[in-house]
Structure 1
Amino acid sequence: MPGKKLSVVVTRRLPEPVETRMKELFDVTLRESDEPMTREALAAAMQGADVIVPTITDQIDAALLAQAGERLKLIANYGAGVDNIDVATARQRGILVSNTPGVLTDDTADMTLALMLSVVRRIPEGMRIAQGESWEGWSPTANLGARLGGRRLGILGMGRIGQAVAQRARAFGMQIHYNNRKRLRPEVENPLEATYWESLDQMVARMDVVSVNCPHTPSTFHLLNARRLKLMKPNAVIVNTSRGEVIDENALTRALRAGELGGAGLDVFERGHAINPRLKALPNVILLPHMGSATIEGRIEMGEKVLINVKTFADGHRPPDLVVPGLM
């Protein structure tokens, strides 16, 4: 569209440098509030814009896409995952979808290790004691946790983030195991000294820590269900920094309450921010508000990816991070 700036609608507040650059490049509508858009507001945005920039809080399904105007040609998602968007329907309607892969790998892997350490070493419990009024001093048997070194870590999903978790865990002396759709190539697997398990059942039954690092797809929904959770050791720990839907949250809560698992560190939840109240009440569970990718550097890099995708599209080319149905 030579001589005319694309009309772009952003659905949430983004870091200031990203918003400023968008204002320079496009005819952009920014958000004054950081509240998620209502479904009606999303529909209105999709009716009048060339591009919308949604986030994971925006569910863009077939019914919403049916209301899109003829101008809408690109959904430039601010996020690596696209399970909030019906990509197949979008493409059928001639709307491209892009995302922001790769920039959050280190941040998410760091948070995964932070959760492991926090649960295994009982850090939040120690903070509550130290910040309270009842601490009477050090004791040889108080607040005992466990070492990470020597423990077996089972990684569910060995993509970029799973491999970054493995690298960090090896530095702590953990033994790396993984389950993945496909076995890694030897040149990737061997430096990690990782053991591949084709059977998820067999892997989880032997692990001290299980880290969920796979995306949410129809095939991974409740992959860790009640039956698989019962296979795990009673002192095993689960960490999830990927997608909440991969774990049956009710079954996990029951297992933790019954003492069938040692603990959990969760940054994501099955029903968004509606966390099971019984899960909140457990002392051996650490809950975070989806902070895995929450670094200044990561958020700006995500915005830069969005800018590149939209600018490339505006110049008449294929966005570099185009999402193709069937290859997700």
Structure 2
Amino acid sequence: MKFEKITIIDRSGLTEAIIEQLAALSKNKISIYNDYPQDDAETLARIGDSDAVLVSWQTKITAEIIAQTSHLKYIGMCCSLYDEASANVDIIAAREKGIQVKGVRDYGDEGAVEFIFAQLIFLLKGLIKARWKDEPMELKNKSIGIIGLGTLGLMVAQTAQHFGMQVFYFNRSRKYEQEKNGITFLPLDELMKSCDIISTHLPKNTIVLTEKEFKLKKPNSILVNTSLGVPFEKEAFLNWIADAKNFAIFDADGVGDFAEEFAKHDNIILSDQFGGFTFEAKQRLSEKVFINMTNYLDNK
């Protein structure tokens, strides 16, 4: 069984090798776009008469777009699918129209962990334009609070333990098994008050930090965000970061739409790289996207 026509509607991050394999799953030549549609009309035009499309997290496929498709049967998300609410595809609308949506998980975690600790080490030791304290510092015995103890959050916690850090977490549900391993639960308010470093690992554009939390945050502390989009109210964050003794670290995913604005602050460390999107992550993503498509065709 094959798809009639597969279209990759934006810059998907898939490897050339996998794209060649995808060609064997399509009766017609695959259409590939290497940029992003500017609006819904362009997204719909790119979908056209395709029965299968692949899309990155940066392009929305809304209910309005889905309603206007005539042949679409399968949407493959070339990105993490945590839950329906945070997805860039309207999964409910797709389901109501009989369109299957598949995402992937756990492809960029290793690279994201390395990015986080590399940036922290650079900042603590003053190996970049900024330094956390007056003298170079070690990670050992510093406290880190993790907001969101999923797969990546847990990997960050375990890596922090290897550095001899004190590890705390806040999550919407307690992780009792991990608490047995020395990862201590704290309510969000206490986490903000207590930790030298806060690292957020949340579904896309999930807001958990407001003015209240930033007012509680430990003085002379660090915020790291590699989630998709910022997890805070922007004005509350800007008020907090106005204190030059506070620092924030973002990768290209984590800074969202605020890269230009945040770049004006010397105590905000920005990367134009996606922390978790390494060569190896690209391989894992591509393989998982391909497997999702073959499983669909095989009715698995």
Normalising by structure 1, we get a TM-score of 0.81
Q: Which residue of 2 aligns with 1:306?
A: 289
Deviation per residue, 1:3-43 (Å, 9 max, x gap): x54411112343211212112332452436x3212333320
Alpha-carbon distance, 1:272 to partner: 3.2
> What secondary structure does 2:164 align onto?
coil
> What secondary structure does 1:238 align onto?
strand
Q: Which residue of 1 aligns with 2:20?
A: 20
Matched, 1:228 2:208: no
Deviation per residue, 1:261-295 (Å, 9 max, x gap): 52010125677344252x21222211123512221
Q: Which residue of 1 aligns with 2:64?
A: 63
Q: Which residue of 2 aligns with 1:251?
A: 236
Question: Does the 8 Å contact 2:227/2:254 carry over to 1?
Answer: no
Q: Which residue of 2 aligns with 1:158?
A: 149
1:81-230 → structure 2 map (5 Å cutoff): 81=81, 83-125=87-129, 144-186=135-177, 188-191=178-181, 193-197=182-186, 199-216=187-204, 220-221=206-207, 223-230=208-215
Deviation per residue, 1:135-191 (Å, 9 max, x gap): xxxxxxx973322110110000000000100111111111110001111132x3323
Question: Does the 8 Å contact 1:249/1:270 carry over to 2?
Answer: no
Q: Against the structure 1 CA distance between its residues 64 and 121, is the aligned structure 2 distance closer, same or farther, given a 3 Å change threshold?
A: farther
Q: Against the structure 1 CA distance between its residues 173 and 285, is the aligned structure 2 distance closer, same or farther, given a 3 Å change threshold?
A: same
> What secondary structure does 1:53 align onto?
strand
Q: What is the root-mean-square deviation in Å for CA atoms of aligned residues?
A: 2.3
| Number of matched pairs | 291
Unpaired stretches in structure 2, ≥5 consecutive residues: none
Question: Does the 8 Å contact 1:120/1:145 carry over to 2?
Answer: yes
Moved over 6 A (4+): none
Q: Against the structure 1 CA distance between its residues 151 and 120, is the aligned structure 2 distance closer, same or farther, given a 3 Å change threshold?
A: same
Letter in 2 for 1:78: C
Alpha-carbon distance, 1:305 to partner: 0.7
Question: Does the 8 Å contact 1:73/1:95 carry over to 2?
Answer: yes
